[in-house]
């Protein structure tokens, strides 16, 4: 049995999904039983540990725990953004350009600091996911995957990620856009018969937020607008809750934790735990040992209080949605499905706010921080069964367009196919009194005319489901399924030019 994988490595977390031969997708847990692994690499003289909870939460390890590495893999970022992100890193970063950036970690046992490039850190995270994949598919020789990355990344950035995964042992089948992965996770665009629709993908992650309007016609996705804000994310919620804990501690004990970096670190870690807990229950308490001058703190925050703290941020978080709709020229009532992804959308208030903006289906059945890995795994399964030669990092390609409609006559009914991207499909129901379906097609163009015809021979009369498909090879394929016997018959003929 051969399994295929979908990978998502974000700034805060990483996840891996397995596509099985039966078509089902399963999220794989790490050795600690966690379905989502922290995208943190703790570097010391002995080893480099990926996903360590200690590395993510320990104050003493903060200077050697690399976080938010993904944003430095994007070669399209501005110098200003790069300098801002470097200044925010608790691990020293050397280098003047993106290509030369290296993390410099001082270790006690060595006079010379340890150095790791951004690509090496990414490869270590992919290696961690590779180990999880090996555990989830024992006995498999090769491990093929699809990786989901931000929409705005260019081919060079995508190649960097693909190379990092390859160094970790993965065979990269394709690198796809995150919005495409989100839609694939919920099988949007795979409806039968095909449904033309407009979907919105909203992602709210740890350090960034984006909204994408996608048009789906005949199963093909077209990004109509994409709005991204790299200054918004879950970090803002953590900051608000941390400030609230500071104020509460100062009010109760007349000590200001803002005067101590270590105290602020402890309160920040407590804030993260409180937010996580409030995603599932209505009240959260945290015991924080020795915040200031040996004073312990045991704060409790209710869901109502948390939502009050969150309220000032909501207009900022929803701004990309409004802007994406404006740029797409789309009204809210034209959106047929909204897909939510990103760990912050586990917060009930955020899901509620986004849901209240639209009168349509809100796709939130999957864990928000597992959606992109699931979608990437779905794409891996599709590529395994239908390889179309699309390059690994190729984000888009020119597709054949049918500009002049084709008129198809099915017995006494007429169907107009196109204009649109080929192949084009059409479904219809038909009752026949004779066991056959006569089909003819005609296309009038300014310089030429094309015609074709064929007959589907059925074993008996009755109710039929007709599926007509116009291929890129200028062929018309028609299938008829008897609704009672489920018998399938089909005919294929070419549209020939009229001499």
Q: 318-369: per-residue pLDDT in tens?
A: 999 999 999 999 999 999 999 999 999 999 999 999 999 999 999 989 999 9
Buried b / exposed e over 475-499, threshold 16 CB at 10 Å, is: ebbbbbbbeeeeeebebebebeeee
Most confident of 214-223, 256-265, 414-423, 441-450: 256-265
| pLDDT confidence of residue 387 | 41
| 3 state SS of 486 | coil
Token digits of residue 172: 């990269």
Please tell me the distance from the alpha carbon of residue 23 to that of residue 26, in angstroms, as a whole number. Answer: 10
- The answer to whether the 4-176 and 190-230+316-366 domains have the same CATH topology is yes
Does pTM top 0.75 for this prediction? yes
Its CATH class, for the domain covering 401-497, is mainly beta
More confident residue, 96 or 40: 40
| pLDDT confidence of residue 450 | 66
42 φ, ψ to 5°?
A: -95, 120
Please tell me the distance from the alpha carbon of residue 431 to that of residue 13, in angstroms, as a whole number. Answer: 54
| pLDDT confidence of residue 390 | 46
Using one digit for the tens of pLDDT, what is the confidence trace for 57-93?
A: 677 788 888 999 999 999 989 889 899 999 988 899 9
| pLDDT confidence of residue 388 | 44
The CATH code that applies to domain 234-312 is 3.90.640.10
Please tell me the distance from the alpha carbon of residue 307 to that of residue 134, in angstroms, as a whole number. Answer: 41
| pLDDT confidence of residue 58 | 72
495 has pLDDT over 90: no
Please tell me the distance from the alpha carbon of residue 51 to that of residue 36, in angstroms, as a whole number. Answer: 9
Its CATH class, for the domain covering 4-176, is alpha beta
- Residue 44 — pLDDT band, cuts 50, 70, 90? confident
Question: How large is the average pLDDT for residues 235-242?
Answer: 97
Please tell me the distance from the alpha carbon of residue 138 to that of residue 134, in angstroms, as a whole number. Answer: 6
190-230+316-366 maps to CATH 3.30.420.40: yes
Question: How large is the average pLDDT for residues 129-141?
Answer: 90
Question: How large is the average pLDDT for residues 449-465?
Answer: 85
More confident residue, 177 or 110: 177
Using one digit for the tens of pLDDT, what is the confidence trace for 166-192?
A: 999 999 999 999 999 999 999 998 877
| pLDDT confidence of residue 241 | 97
Bridge partners of 479?
467, 490
- Residue 374 — pLDDT band, cuts 50, 70, 90? very high
* Per-domain boundaries in the chain: 4-176, 190-230+316-366, 234-312, 401-497
Which among 410, 409, 459 is positioned nearest to 430, based on CA atoms? 410
Q: What rounded mean pLDDT belongs to the chain?
A: 89
Which residues fall within 8 angstroms of residue 432, CB to CB, at 6 or more apart? 411, 458, 461, 462, 464
| pLDDT confidence of residue 210 | 96
300 has pLDDT over 70: yes
| pLDDT confidence of residue 389 | 45
Strands 209-217 and 361-363: unpaired
Using one digit for the tens of pLDDT, what is the confidence trace for 377-424?
A: 999 998 887 444 445 555 455 556 777 888 899 998 998 887 776 778
498 has pLDDT over 90: no
CA 49, 53, 59, 60 torsion-angle sign: negative
In the DSSP assignment, the letter for residue 297 is: E
Token digits of residue 171: 């065979």
């Amino acid at each position: 049995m051969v399994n295929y994988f979908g990978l998502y490595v974000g700034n805060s977390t990483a996840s891996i999904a397995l596509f099985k031969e039966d078509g089902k997708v399963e999220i794989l847990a790490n050795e600690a039983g966690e379905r989502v692994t922290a995208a943190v690499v703790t570097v010391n003289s002995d080893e480099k540990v990926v996903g360590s909870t200690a590395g993510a939460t320990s104050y003493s390890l903060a200077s050697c725990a690399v976080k938010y590495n993904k944003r430095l893999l994007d070669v399209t970022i501005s110098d200003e953004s790069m300098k801002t992100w470097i200044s925010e890193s608790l691990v020293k970063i050397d280098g003047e350009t993106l290509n030369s950036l290296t993390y410099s970690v001082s270790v006690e046992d060595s006079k010379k600091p340890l150095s790791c490039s951004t690509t090496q850190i990414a490869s270590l995270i992919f290696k961690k996911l590779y180990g999880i994949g090996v555990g989830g598919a024992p006995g498999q020789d090769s491990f093929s995957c699809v990786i989901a990355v931000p929409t705005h990344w260019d081919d060079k950035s995508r190649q960097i990620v693909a190379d990092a995964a390859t160094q970790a042992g993965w065979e990269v089948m394709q690198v796809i856009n995150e919005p495409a992965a989100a839609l694939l996770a919920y099988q949007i665009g795979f409806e039968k018969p095909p449904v033309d629709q407009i979907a919105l993908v909203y992602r709210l992650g740890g350090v960034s937020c984006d909204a994408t309007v996608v048009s789906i016609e005949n199963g093909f996705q077209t990004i109509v607008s994409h709005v991204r804000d790299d200054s918004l994310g879950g970090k803002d919620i953590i900051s608000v809750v941390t400030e609230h804990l500071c104020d509460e501690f100062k009010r109760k004990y007349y000590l200001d934790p803002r005067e101590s970096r270590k105290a602020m670190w402890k309160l920040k870690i407590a804030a993260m735990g409180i937010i996580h807990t409030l995603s599932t229950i209505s009240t959260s308490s945290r015991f924080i040992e020795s915040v200031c001058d040996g004073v312990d703190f045991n704060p409790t925050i209710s869901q109502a209080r948390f939502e009050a703290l969150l309220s000032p941020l909501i207009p900022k978080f929803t701004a990309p949605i409004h802007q994406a709709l404006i740029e797409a020229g789309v009204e809210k009532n034209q959106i047929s499905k909204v897909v939510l992804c990103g760990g912050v959308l586990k917060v009930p208030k955020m899901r509620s706010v986004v849901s209240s903006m639209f009168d349509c289906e809100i796709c939130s059945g999957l864990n928000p921080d597992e959606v992109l890995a699931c979608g990437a795994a779905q794409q891996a399964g599709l590529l395994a069964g239908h390889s179309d030669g699309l390059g690994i990092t190729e984000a888009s390609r020119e597709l054949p367009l049918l500009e002049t409609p084709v008129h198809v006559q099915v017995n006494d009914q007429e169907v107009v196919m196109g204009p649109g991207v080929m192949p084009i499909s059409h479904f219809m129901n038909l009752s026949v009194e004779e066991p056959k379906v006569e089909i003819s097609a005609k296309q009038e163009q300014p310089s030429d005319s094309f015609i074709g015809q064929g007959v589907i021979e059925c074993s008996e009369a009755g109710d039929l489901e007709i599926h007509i498909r116009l291929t890129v090879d200028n062929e018309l394929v028609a299938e008829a399924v008897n609704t009672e016997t489920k018998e399938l018959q089909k005919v294929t003929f070419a549209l020939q030019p009229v001499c």
